[in-house]
Amino acid sequence: MIPFANQPVVQVLNTDVYQLGEKQVLENINFAIQKGEFVYLIGRTGSGKSSLLKTLYADLSLVKGSVQIAGYELNSIRRKDIPFLRRKLGIVFQDFQLFMDRNIAQNLEFVLKATGWTDSMKMKTRIAEVLIRVGLSGEMNKMPHQLSGGEQQRVVIARALLNDPEILLADEPTGNLDPEVSEDIMRLFLSINKSGMSVLMATHDFDLIRKFPQRMLRCENGKVVERDYL
Ligand code: ATP
Ligand code: MG
């Protein structure tokens, strides 16, 4: 399924978001994200940011509405297609979820193999490319514990870039980092975005938003609304 060039990367229509156990979190939401857009997702704790992101990457199932993302319609997506959808999405969490007993190159190689890569030269090249992209070209033989929190988050971003996704979905990617390191990570997201990749980033970090203003969507009272102020 190849999306048309002018189609939004994400289109959410009349959609409800449900957590596990049928708890409704968001109701009748509507928004679109265009190719190359950078969008913050804000809102109080418990307002539904993570639940919305999980719905977008098909971790929570779509109960009502229509979600198109990266060329897939989540209404009709089959379970066996979900791994292919995920290759078109770069997912970045606050907690890094790296394998602590494998070095950086092995962490990235694991994902490539799991997503169908077989040629070891091509894998090596791709790993080098994404590590250069995030400013970590010299660290591929280090173990995760030998890296700082900011560096580990860069590895996670490199991992998200491996399959050249259409959009990065980031859930509080700077939540565990101190302010200076958070700004560096934000600059990295912005430079990736500049090269044409869309980004949807859930964050609580108002200092970051003030410093790097971008379009904002806010979860509030079970809705998602466009906001142009904090
Ligand atoms: P935070 O800013 O704290 O990360 P959030 O905006 O990401 O909050 P969600 O985690 O999406 O909010 O939570 C939305 C609602 O869903 C809350 O009422 C929460 O209690 C509920 N919820 C979250 N995770 C689960 C789960 N695994 N099972 C059931 N309910 C959940
Ligand atoms: Mg959350």
DSSP state letter for 209: H
Instruction: Flag whether pLDDT at 1 surpasses 60.
Output: no
Which of 103, 109, 92 lies closest to 192, judged by CA? 92
Q: Rounded to 5 degrees, what angle do the CA atoms 215, 11, 173 make? A: 50
Residues with CB under 6 A from ligand 1: 19-21, 23, 25, 43, 45-51, 219
Stated pTM of the model:
0.95
Residues 72 and 81 sit within 8 Å (Cβ to Cβ): yes
* Phi/psi at 163 (5° precision): -100, 20
Residues 6 or more apart whose CB falls under 8 angstroms from that of 4 comprise: none
pLDDT in tens, 91-106: 998 887 899 999 999 9
- Give the domains, in start order, of the chain with CATH numbers: 1-88+199-230 (3.40.50.300)
For residue 49, is pLDDT > 90?
Answer: yes
What residue type is 92 in one-letter code? V
Assigned token pair, 205: 């970090």
What number is the average pLDDT over the span 37-43?
A: 98
Task: Please report the pLDDT score of residue 24 as a whole number.
Answer: 96
How far does the centroid of ligand 2 lie from the alpha carbon of residue 70, in Å? 22
Mean pLDDT computed over every residue of the chain: 95
Backbone angles phi, psi at 206, to 5 degrees: -65, -30
Query: Model confidence over 59-91: pLDDT tens digits?
Result: 999 999 999 999 999 999 999 999 999 999 999
Q: For a pocket test of ligand 1, which of 50, 61, 206 has the largest count of ligand atoms closer than 8 A to its C-beta?
A: 50
Least confident range from 37-41, 96-100, 180-184: namely 96-100
Ligand 1 center to 147 CA (angstroms): 30
Give the distance (Å) from ligand 1 centre to CA of residue 172.
13
CA of 42, nearest ligand number? 1
Select the more confidently predicted residue: 21 or 157. Answer: 157
Segment 25-29 shows an average pLDDT of 98
Instruction: Look at residue 166 and tell me whether its pLDDT is greater than 60.
Output: yes
More confident residue, 129 or 94: 129
